[in-house]
Chains A and B, each alone.
Chain A
């Protein structure tokens, strides 16, 4: 395998890590909708960290190695439409992902606040934060952006 073959393999593995993280967050989005206790909400934190690691590694790996491949592979150029589209979709997805995280962290922060205050029982306020509709919409948009990225990478429009 040449260096470019390795770069492509790690680029694709990074894409799998990114989408894997997005799928993991869907499982958490569904699960957290029933959580109204601080303990149950806080217990999701280690799983959130796994998702954050997967999305972070995936986002950096796809971008860095994708740009490398755009310059290294003779038949591709950085200004090709499908590569520019991928960069735009990557940026949109990253920005939306950050906003999704912020929406769901409101519930996590509230849970920690309640736990600190010694309120271990169910909280309707926490349930409302955990059922954030803006969070669901934002994560749906992240998923659509990821799907468009995959379509763009495979169909390579106007390549």
Chain B
């Protein structure tokens, strides 16, 4: 059992809370977005619901998760120069940052997709958003496993 989890100093709790809360909101938004886009079957209302779930829920969740992550990492001393970071933290940072870029990409594609829906055009770009959000959901579940299980 990770000793760190059992004897964490109290001053680490609040940044950790913000980090985990943000990650949970992010995953919830991705779940809502992917489900709405996946079951929309061309229905404009559900395509919009899926896109707005990603924009209004996942994106703020990502910001909170990333900011909280940076804060708790600095509190734990992992961001100091010369301090080697553990594997689980590398996995977490990599997936958070690459995932953030993919989230932005999916939001840009989805934004154009919603714009095209207004013009009565197809929902192809929102299909791209769906695929990217499913990929992100999988990646963030791996990140949660790595952060919680802390593999060597």
- A142 vs chain B, min Cβ distance (A): 13
CA distance in complex: A76, B7 (Å): 11
Contact A16 B141 (CB under 8 A): yes
Interface size (B, Cβ < 8 Å)? 37
Given the contacts A16-B24, A154-B17, A23 and B144 also touching, CB distance less than 8 Å: no
- What A residues does B100 contact at CB under 8 A? none
CA distance in complex: A72, B16 (Å): 24
Interface residues of B in 46-97 (CB under 8 A from A): 46, 49, 53, 57
Contact B57 A12 (CB under 8 A): no
CB of A50 within 8 A of chain B?
Answer: yes
Chain A's closest residue to B3 (CB) is: A75
Interface residues of A in 101-159 (CB under 8 A from B): 147, 150-151, 154-155
CA distance in complex: A151, B24 (Å): 13
- Identify whether the interface residues of A are mostly helix, strand, loop, or mixed: helix
- What A residues does B2 contact at CB under 8 A? 5, 8
- A136 vs chain B, min Cβ distance (A): 17
Query: Which of A11, A22, A27, A46 lies in contact with B53, CB distance below 8 A?
Result: A27
Top 7 A-B residue pairs of the complex, sorted by shortest distance between their CB atoms: A23-B28, A9-B149, A12-B148, A27-B32, A19-B24, A24-B32, A20-B28
Footprint of A on B, CB under 8 Å?
A: 1-2, 5-6, 10, 13, 16-17, 20-21, 23-25, 27-32, 35-36, 39, 43, 45-46, 49, 53, 57, 141, 144-145, 147-152
Q: A1-B150, A28-B32 are in contact. List 6 more A-B contacts (CB 8 A).
A: A5-B151, A8-B149, A19-B25, A47-B35, A50-B39, A72-B1
25 A–B contacts, CB within 8 A, in A order = A1-B150, A4-B1, A12-B147, A13-B145, A16-B27, A16-B144, A19-B28, A20-B24, A20-B27, A20-B28, A20-B31, A23-B25, A23-B27, A26-B28, A27-B32, A27-B49, A27-B53, A31-B36, A43-B43, A51-B31, A51-B35, A76-B6, A151-B17, A154-B16, A154-B17
